[in-house]
Amino acid sequence: MNRFMILLAMTIVLSAASFAMALDSAALVGTWQLVEPAKDSEGKNCPFVGQQIQFTADGKMISPNMPMPFKYKVNPTPAETEGALTKNPELKGMEIMLAMMGNSQSDWSKAPIVYGVKLQNKQFTMKVSGYTPALYKKLK
């Protein structure tokens, strides 16, 4: 009986931890300022992260370096996550955010941009395979 209770308690704790780790898209909404740029092995900046990014409640990611707003999706399905990690194994262990041009179809399994992300308090980390993580702070 004690073993069962311990196993049950561990299951509840792990489930709660998984739930707590899920990216809250409402907390992401707002304007974020770059404080640490993403760079490749040669020190070149990543073109997929901007100096400032605005996330909207209707699923748009807007940045001055983007030709148009991108659609984004946090908390992709397990199949979408698996597909993204197959192409980007460097992002394993991070939450996955998918992005595509605003006029693209919404087949998220084919999203051309995959970010590994982490949101903690007012700091947001975005990682693209082949680059160091970019760090943002929330402005508003």
* Domain total in the chain: 1
Q: Provide the residue type at 124 as one letter.
A: F
pLDDT of residue 121: 82
DSSP 58-115: TSEEE-TTSSSPEEEEES--HHHHHHHHHH-GGGTTSEEEEEEETTS---GGG-SEEE
Q: Is residue 78 part of a domain?
A: yes
Domain of residue 88, CATH code: 2.40.128
pLDDT of residue 102: 73
pLDDT of residue 54: 95
Q: Are 136 and 34 in contact (CB under 8 A)?
A: yes
Q: Is residue 29 part of a domain?
A: yes
Under the banding of pLDDT at 50, 70 and 90, the label for residue 19 is very low
| Higher-confidence position of 137 and 23 | 137
Q: Is residue 4 part of a domain?
A: no
| Higher-confidence position of 21 and 123 | 123
Q: Is residue 14 part of a domain?
A: no
Residues 23-77 pLDDT 10s: 777 889 999 999 999 999 999 999 888 899 999 999 999 998 878 899 999 999 9
Q: Is residue 71 part of a domain?
A: yes
Q: Is residue 7 part of a domain?
A: no
Q: Is residue 116 part of a domain?
A: yes
Domain that holds residue 90: 23-138
CA distance 36 to 99: 21
Q: Is residue 55 part of a domain?
A: yes
